Amino acid sequence: MKVALVTGAAKGLGLEWCHQLGLKGYKVILTARNFEQAQLAASELNQQDLVIYPKALDVANESEIEDLASWATELFGRVDLIVNNAGINPKDYADKSRMAKAFNLSQLDYQEMLQVIQINSLAPLMMVKHFLPLLKKSEKPLVVNISSWLSSVSQLSFGGHYGYVGSKNLLNVLNKSMALELKNEGIICVNVNPGWVKTQMGGQKATFTTEESVKNLIKNIVEKVSLEETGSFLNFDGSPHPW
């Protein structure tokens, strides 16, 4: 059985990734900052005869990433797929004064901006850094980073929203650089736009359910992407997304 790891997977898109990959026969490591939430989510999936392992992980804590990699090494010896789904969007903060510090130019705050960048842009690289030995042992290692259409410079049509827009755009270029470095290792690294999805972040007016979005991503990208496409920014249907 292939082994997959999904970050930020206690709910929403991440949870659906675990569900769909489990149905495809993967052993799935379901991670979330709160272990009880991860455990509850995994328990519900395991009742469907899936193979889901709950683990606590704060992707902003490198020592936790390193510990998780050590655990996965002992239990599985390899990882075939990493889905870097964990992310934050300041517009969802309950404290709107805090949101403004990563949203409006007049109120921008270094530390608030850096926290968004740490989680959305840098954490995916740190995941690959520590899981690299496990990815190298896979026959077709794949890293999928969840980006956003908002990361596209050419398609951006409004101002503000600096924390999220900037962090996802940075993720795009960092992933391309990582992909070029790892290409000779046979490791595919792609960023994906999952579409407008009905989640807490996307809202209920969105186009896709989480099930529809993840099924598209697995069918059109996970099962089809090639090493020649490493570093790409792809839509949910597998087509190139404008940078």
Q: In residues, how long is the chain? A: 243
Confidence at residue 201, expressed as pLDDT on a 0 to 100 scale? 52
Task: Please give the pLDDT value at position 208.
Answer: 78
Predicted model pTM: 0.95
Q: Domain residues of the chain, as ranges? A: 3-235
**What's the CA gap between 184 and 8, in Å, rounded?**
29
For residue 52, name the pLDDT band (cuts at 50, 70, 90): very high
| Per-residue burial over 197-206, b = 16 or more CB atoms within 10 Å of its CB, e = otherwise | bbbebbeeee
- Which class in CATH covers the domain with range 3-235? alpha beta
